[in-house]
Amino acid sequence: MTPSTAPERKPSGTDPRPDLLSLIPAEVEAALAGHFERRKQPGYRADQVATWLYESGVTSFAEMTNLPLEERTALAEAFRLEAPEAETISRSSDGTVKHLWRMGDGELVESVLIPTSDRLTLCISSQAGCAMGCTFCATGWGGFGRQLTAGEITAQFRNSRRWAEENDYGPINNVVFMGMGEPLANRKAVHPTLTILNQGFGLGARRITVSTVGVVPGIRELAARPEQFGLALSLHSPDAELRSELIPLEKRHPLPELIDAIEEFVQAGGRRVTFEYTMIRGINDAESLAPALAALARRVHAFVNLIPFNPIPYQDWKPSVPARVEYFRRTLDEAGVSVAVREPRGRDIDAACGQLRANALVQIEGPDTVGSRPRARATVASPTGDGAGATG
């Protein structure tokens, strides 16, 4: 049998072979050491595979050409290598590139490469869909598909890195968990992914940011980790009542509890937290909210990103007018809060959270099917929040 005939692609749930990309580097080392020892191969074979895994973009063991053919075959029989295929690649006029990845079972998730003058940021997805049901978010409206494995999250980085190298985008400097899904509702996969990106792929912890809508137990777990991963909180309102209308999870983890957890995170490692504030016209941009936002940000020394709302297909909300965004910026600035206004990137390719998948579903299933999907809100009670780590 040649290496290429080994079954390297099956829906992950039905494949008994461990996925090397789902394991943290110490586990990869141990698994490979045991494998090669049983095959009476020299110890350096494990290092050869690890080098292919972390330093190259090869998607099959067959391509690991410095290993003997029979060893490549044996590897493919013992292990698999998560390698989602790009369903579509959309390139914006501003250089933003969106990949829609098709997983082994057909699930679609997206990742976005965002080049700026001095760096390349990759935005990755942690779940197929999202169960949180935030009213302003296309992913929320699409509902929950399933948890991604660590390998499926890591593969977005690995495959995007390869694409970026091949297309002269240079190295990826930052990774943000701001694609589809709530990363802290998939902690079983996200914790190892953080370790793999950091220890395997050598990305500094400070260059990796987890964005959460407020899963308090997850924030506390992140605070307890020794590495200095970044944290972004999708705040969107300093007022608990308004926030709960935008973000159903607010009812479960109300703002006071959330801000306590953020304080714990900041104190644990001296790391700065970012507040994300999507500004929606007439919804969360009342002038009176700006000083309240400033007070919350000052309390935890947060940096604030003001992001004009990116309209989504399911409701008619609009971004705040520029003068109101500027009012918020000035109020925060004058209160001594570090603040930036973020221009939405990749608008022409629907690079807002969840939109490409939503559009792909429209194409695959027809607009009526998507429009009549039950609101994600209805599923919020299930696989989220506290016990979330156990649902993957």
Catalytic residue positions, numbered: 110, 353
Tell me if residue 80 falls in helix, strand or coil.
strand
36 binds ligand SAH (CB under 6 A): no
Pick from 28, 134, 222, 337 the residue near ligand SF4 by CB under 6 A. Answer: 134
How far, CA to CA in Å, does 142 sit from each of 99, 245, 357, 372? 18, 18, 9, 10
Contact between residue 229 and residue 194 where contact means Cβ atoms under 8 Å apart: yes
Pick from 82, 182, 250, 350 the residue near ligand SAH by CB under 6 A. Answer: 182
Residue 360 touches which of ligand SAH, ligand SF4, none (Cβ within 5-8 Å per kind):
none
Cα 80 from Cα 321, distance rounded (Å): 50
255 binds ligand SAH (CB under 6 A): no
Cα 376 from Cα 137, distance rounded (Å): 10
Write out the two tokens for 331.
Answer: 């109020």
Contact between residue 213 and residue 182 where contact means Cβ atoms under 8 Å apart: yes
Cα 315 from Cα 304, distance rounded (Å): 26
384 binds ligand SAH (CB under 6 A): no
Q: Which stretch binds ligand SF4 (CB under 6 A): 81-89, 125-133, 285-293, 322-330?
A: 125-133
Contact between residue 284 and residue 309 where contact means Cβ atoms under 8 Å apart: no
Number of neighbouring beta carbons within 10 Å of residue 3:
21
Cα 248 from Cα 254, distance rounded (Å): 10
Q: Which residues contact 114 (CB under 8 A, 6 or more apart)?
A: 96, 120, 121, 122, 123, 345, 346
DSSP bridge partners of 101: 86, 109
Tell me the residue nearest to ligand SF4 as measured from the CB.
Answer: 140
Q: Which stretch binds ligand SF4 (CB under 6 A): 28-36, 129-137, 224-232, 251-259?
A: 129-137
Residue 209 touches which of ligand SAH, ligand SF4, none (Cβ within 5-8 Å per kind):
none
Q: Which stretch binds ligand SF4 (CB under 6 A): 28-36, 76-84, 134-142, 144-152?
A: 134-142
Pick from 67, 293, 353, 388 the residue near ligand SF4 by CB under 6 A. Answer: 353
Tell me if residue 339 falls in helix, strand or coil.
strand
Residue 325 touches which of ligand SF4, ligand SAH, none (Cβ within 5-8 Å per kind):
none
352 binds ligand SAH (CB under 6 A): yes
| Range 198-237, binding ligand SAH (CB under 6 A) | 211-213, 234
Residue (115 or 181) nearer to ligand SF4, CB? 181
Residue (71 or 182) nearer to ligand SAH, CB? 182
Site size with ligand SAH, rule: CB under 6 A: 17
The phi-psi region of residue 57 (left if phi > 0; otherwise alpha if psi is between -120 and 50; otherwise beta) is: alpha
Contact between residue 232 and residue 210 where contact means Cβ atoms under 8 Å apart: yes
Residue 380 touches which of ligand SAH, ligand SF4, none (Cβ within 5-8 Å per kind):
none
Number of neighbouring beta carbons within 10 Å of residue 265:
22
| Range 300-339, binding ligand SAH (CB under 6 A) | 307, 309-310, 312
Kindly write out the interface string for residues 123-142 of this chain, putting x where it contacts ligand SAH by CB under 6 A and - elsewhere.
-------------xx-----
Number of neighbouring beta carbons within 10 Å of residue 34:
12
Residue 176 C-beta: closest distance to ligand SF4, Å = 12
Pick from 59, 121, 139, 284 the residue near ligand SF4 by CB under 6 A. Answer: 139
DSSP bridge partners of 102: 85, 108
Q: What's 200's DSSP letter?
A: I
Pick from 84, 181, 218, 311 the residue near ligand SF4 by CB under 6 A. Answer: 181
Residue 212 C-beta: closest distance to ligand SF4, Å = 8
Tell me if residue 145 falls in helix, strand or coil.
strand
C-alpha dihedral (277, 279, 284, 288), degrees to nearest 10 = 80
Residue 310 touches which of ligand SAH, ligand SF4, none (Cβ within 5-8 Å per kind):
ligand SAH
Pick from 107, 110, 182, 285 the residue near ligand SF4 by CB under 6 A. Answer: 182
Q: Which residues bind ligand SF4 (CB under 6 A)?
A: 130, 132-134, 137, 139-140, 181-182, 213, 234, 353
Q: Which residues bind ligand SAH (CB under 6 A)?
A: 136-137, 177-178, 182, 211-213, 234, 276, 278, 307, 309-310, 312, 352-353
